[in-house]
């Protein structure tokens, strides 16, 4: 995927997230926002997978530990959804780890439990 495509999808993700936040407001469960955002992306014609398993590999071995990516956009962009009072460093570490483990270049950490969504929207890059 080229940089232009990443930027176009990034804009769509932000716009779709704002739409979901306007429609649903803060204070709901993460799973609600996840379902709504997946639907919103689908309405925009963007392929989105929900709860994608991410296996843990170590030195060529697959270990008995699976992670789950909340949303995977066009098989390239990871979205981790939160509905918390405050984003903590552990939340940022989670999205950074997912990017590395999945070998993806771009991810978003979105906290819907904020009055203004732009304050809960963070972009993460892995070697971009």
Q: Max CA-CA distance within the chain? A: 45
Confidence (pLDDT) at 65: 87
Rounded Cα gap, residues 34 and 112, in angstroms: 10
Contact between residue 24 and residue 110 where contact means Cβ atoms under 8 Å apart: no
Would residue 75 count as lying in a domain? Answer: yes
Would residue 128 count as lying in a domain? Answer: no
Q: What is the CATH number of the domain that holds 99?
A: 3.40.1350
Confidence (pLDDT) at 89: 96
- DSSP calls for 61-90: EEEEEEEEEEEEETTTEEEEEE--SS--HH
pTM above 0.85, yes or no: yes
Would residue 72 count as lying in a domain? Answer: yes
Counted domains in the chain: 1
Query: Which residue bears the tokens 């904020």?
Result: 114
Tell me which residue range forms the domain holding 24: 3-123
Would residue 33 count as lying in a domain? Answer: yes
Checking if the pLDDT of 128 tops 60, the result is no
Confidence (pLDDT) at 98: 95
Would residue 31 count as lying in a domain? Answer: yes
Checking if the pLDDT of 109 tops 60, the result is yes
Confidence (pLDDT) at 1: 83
Q: Strands of 61-73's sheet, edge to edge?
A: 48-58, 61-73, 77-82, 106-111, 121-125
């Amino acid at each position: 995927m080229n940089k232009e495509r990443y930027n176009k999808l990034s804009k769509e993700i932000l716009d779709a997230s704002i739409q979901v936040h306007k429609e649903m407001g803060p204070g709901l469960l993460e799973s609600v926002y996840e379902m709504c955002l997946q639907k919103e992306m689908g309405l925009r014609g963007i392929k989105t997978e929900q709860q994608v398993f991410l296996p843990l590999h170590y030195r060529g071995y697959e270990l008995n530990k699976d992670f789950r990516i909340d949303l995977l956009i066009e098989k390239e962009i990871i979205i981790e959804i939160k509905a918390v009072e405050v984003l903590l460093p552990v939340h940022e570490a989670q999205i950074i780890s997912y990017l590395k483990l999945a070998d993806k270049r771009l991810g978003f950490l979105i906290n819907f439990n904020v009055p203004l969504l732009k304050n809960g929207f963070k972009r993460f890059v892995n070697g971009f």
